[in-house]
A = this chain, B = another copy of it.
Amino acid sequence: MFRNATLPDGSRRDITVADGRITSFVEPAPGPGIDLGGALVLPPLVDGHIHLDKTLLGLPWVPNQAAGNRVADRIEAERRVRAGRAVAETETGANLVKQVLASGTLHMRTHVDIDNQLGLKNLHAVLAIRERFRGLATIEIVAFPQSGIVRSPGTAALLDEAVAAGADLVGGLDPVGIDGDLEGHLDTIFAIASRRGAGIDIHLHDGGEGGIAEIDAIARRTKALDLAGNVAISHAFALGSVPTDLAARTADTLAAAGIAIMTHGPGAATMPPVPLLKEHGVEVFSGSDNIRDAWSPFGNGDMLERAMMVGYRANFRHDHELALAFELVTAAPARVLGLADYGLKVGGTADFVVVDSATVPEAVATRPRRKLVVKAGRVIARDGVLV
């Protein structure tokens, strides 16, 4: 029993819990249980795009070593960092899972590097992490060809093996910008996804009309293979770098194909126009992306902070806009991950996050420390620290 909760709609309720599920929301009354004192109760945060295997969290500071500012430079630098790693991905990745659990994230989609340097090493590390945190965190895995597919011999077979070994989705990476072979790249990943019954989540940094052409190609294959609802494009910077009418037409294409867009609120790159996409019926969700790794020194896995960053980059200021930013880190990625029991509802899992804010927009703007994180009715973190 959790008493005196302020729900996102502003109502004050006691939340009754049995067998790890919410059984009712009732008028507050005195009695036993945890008194929340009117604090705001939020559904758990969901990270739609994280890289558990890349993070160097817990290691002494590792300066960025990329020789230049291209994606290809960062790929090369990461291959060097990986080779010199003194601590296993199972440990740094677990550090990150603990940190995000303490911040209220209970579900995540992680991309895992698969290439001809690593083979399936990182996949096995993340499978071990998933096993270790089973019951606390839902971890969906994307087999991500970080070094490309066509340009990186052997990767196609590794992606297929990865899905057989436990990855839930097939990833991709700039079919043109990295692989220089739109058809070859997409043929490979759609074939694996179709054959194995897996979803798809493609990193697409390529901008401008070229990037839009890649989105169109992804949409054509998604429709042809009847994969609506199982395909996402991460970043999709192109949508923010073309004229509005082309972005709108592309939004219609995405909505018709059932493709979701992930944005983390990029720092310097152009950002997909979130309100326009929503108006056209496109599912949009958010994620942390890189967190203290060979790609970025920034990030901490706090999805309330991520909602703020997305809102800040999207010029959101009004409450309905901040509420949309919140949806991007809660209900939207929950839909994309297919979390049936998600949300503050009778019958749903008793998962929630408690903060000292009056409203959801205030929580997004101020990103207060998490007073409590509750998983299946049990307090797992208090004041930002796992218990």
Contacts and interface: CB of A to CB of B under 8 A. Distances in A.
Interface of A: 60-61, 63-64, 66, 69, 267-268, 292, 295-298, 300, 308-309, 311-315, 317-319, 322, 357-359, 361-362, 364-366
Contacts of A297: 317, 322, 361-362, 364-365
A275 to B, nearest CB: 11
Nearest to A363: B61
A361 B61 contact: yes
A317 B61 contact: no
A336 to B, nearest CB: 25
A76 to B, nearest CB: 14
B365 A315 contact: no
A319 B64 CA distance: 7
B292 A365 contact: yes
Contact of A268 (B60, B313, B361): B313
Nearest to A292: B365
A98 to B, nearest CB: 16
Given A312-B267, A312-B298, A361 B63 contact: yes
Nearest to A322: B297
A309 B268 CA distance: 11
B315 A308 contact: no
A66 to B, nearest CB: 7
A317 B299 CA distance: 12
Contact of A61 (B300, B315, B358): B358
Contact of A315 (B268, B313, B358): B268
Among A267, A295, A314, chain B packs the most CB atoms within 10 A around the CB of: A267
Contacts of A313: 267-268
A366 B318 contact: no
Contacts of A319: 63-64
Given A297-B365, A322-B297, A358 B60 contact: yes
Contacts of A358: 60-61
A203 B309 CA distance: 24
A318 B69 CA distance: 10
21 contacts: A61-B357, A61-B358, A61-B359, A61-B361, A61-B362, A63-B318, A63-B361, A64-B317, A64-B318, A64-B319, A66-B317, A66-B318, A267-B311, A267-B312, A267-B315, A268-B312, A268-B314, A295-B317, A297-B322, A297-B365, A300-B366
